[in-house]
Structure 1
Amino acid sequence: MWHAYNLVATGDSLRSTTVRKVQTESATGSSSSSRVRTMLTICVEDIYFDTQACVLRVKGRNIQENQYVKMGAYHTIDLELNRKFTLAKAKWDIIQLDRI
């Protein structure tokens, strides 16, 4: 996770599965909420590495249409060991390529 922390930077695009609380409204006007696992792609704005839990928390705005999350909505994705993610950068530098 430490290497992932050193690879992810502000402005990168990160795609991974995450859990999102979704509110639905019925025809009668009542609303209910549920937690839904979904795939999100965010533009990275903030990165935090929790050493105690060994979790990388990546915050950003949603940049790809999703049925549960509107474009531009903020979300924090928690990356854990053995959780797959895709990282896209405008340009990879030599130090980042060496880490891979």
Structure 2
Amino acid sequence: MRKTQWLLIALILAGLVAAEAVAAQSPPPQQRQQRAPGVPMAPNAGEVQKVEPRSDRVEATRERERLARDRSGPPNPSREVPMPKPVPSIIAPTR
């Protein structure tokens, strides 16, 4: 019984030493990531800062967005709020 314990301990230690030797011998390969053939990983600085075209449509859209952001709260708190239309009940039908 004691011989098998020592044998198992010796096998475990030999396995650990062999694993260390294999790990030290071959470093993991360095892989370079690619998105797709011909596509760079980082965009070019000149392409990022392209000037967008100016037109009346673009200006009108920006003006509308700016006005929408500037609005705060309801337009007039003392206004008359429209009441919702009554909906007939589906549980107790009317005659």
| TM-score w.r.t. length of structure 2 | 0.13
The answer to which structure has the higher strand fraction is: 1
The answer to which structure has the higher helix fraction is: 2
- Structure with bigger RCO (C-alpha 8 Å, 6+ apart): 1
